[in-house]
Homo-oligomer: A and B are copies of this chain.
């Protein structure tokens, strides 16, 4: 690992409250790598041999059953992913692939587990990463079971708008078919859901989206921090 990579890695939240020697020990066997779009980082069902930390870029977590596939989570900000499989030393429950060119820190699973045993600060950080992941999927599950397709789309639009500074106009951060899988709709149904939202002031042209009447949209979406707050 190059010196400047080392400096970059040490800044990430995993190491914020652990002892310097733990971080150094872990980073000795670790590396940072840049991956282009479409790269498959791991496959569901494999034994967990690496902990991944997304430094920048976008990662999609997918799962499949029979010949169906869906999206479990999309990671757009710096955080660890597939934490639980590493902690438990079990099989990955999800595959992950790069949606937008990403810079990834990779830590060998075995040394992660020993570092946890040795350093309470690091183990705590891992518990926090696992908890963040838990709260994300729990939110997904709540949305999926409690909201209709239109409601999920409306709330996604509002969340995305907040993420980009409430300009009420933004570009799709990824393809519409990914969004469809993420919010649990067939691509055709998403397309129709967008048309339906026209009467709430939502305009779509290719990848560009405008929210004409945020209040009307919020009234439909009924956003709730317990389901929609990204930083919860």
| A interface residue numbers (CB < 8 A to B) | 17, 44-45, 63-66, 68-70, 72, 83-85, 87-88, 90-91, 93-94, 116-124, 126-128, 130-135, 137-142, 144-147, 184, 222, 224-227, 232
Q: Looking at the assembled complex, report how far the CB atom of A202 sits from the nearest CB atom of chain B, in whole angstroms.
A: 21
A-B contact pairs, 15 of them (CB 8 A): A65-B142, A65-B147, A72-B138, A84-B134, A88-B131, A88-B132, A93-B135, A93-B142, A93-B226, A120-B123, A124-B126, A137-B137, A141-B144, A144-B145, A145-B184
Taking CB atoms, residues of chain B closer than 8 Å to A119 are 120
Please measure, in the bound complex, the distance between the C-alpha atom of A202 and the C-alpha atom of B160, giving whole angstroms.
46
Taking CB atoms, residues of chain B closer than 8 Å to A116 are 120, 123-124, 127
Structural contact, A141 and B65, CB atoms closer than 8 A: no
Structural contact, B87 and A146, CB atoms closer than 8 A: no
Please measure, in the bound complex, the distance between the C-alpha atom of A222 and the C-alpha atom of B134, giving whole angstroms.
26
Taking CB atoms, residues of chain B closer than 8 Å to A118 are 120
Nearest 10 CB-CB pairings of A with B: A123-B123, A84-B131, A130-B130, A127-B127, A120-B120, A65-B146, A70-B145, A87-B131, A84-B134, A134-B134
Task: Tell me which of B44, B145, B226 contacts A44 (CB under 8 A).
Answer: B226
Closest to A64 in B: B146
Structural contact, B141 and A137, CB atoms closer than 8 A: yes
| Known pairs A63-B146, A64-B146, A88-B135 / 12 extra A-B pairs, C-beta < 8 Å | A66-B146, A66-B222, A68-B146, A72-B138, A84-B132, A85-B135, A93-B226, A93-B232, A117-B124, A120-B120, A120-B122, A127-B130
Taking CB atoms, residues of chain B closer than 8 Å to A132 are 84, 88
Taking CB atoms, residues of chain B closer than 8 Å to A93 are 135, 138-139, 142, 226, 232
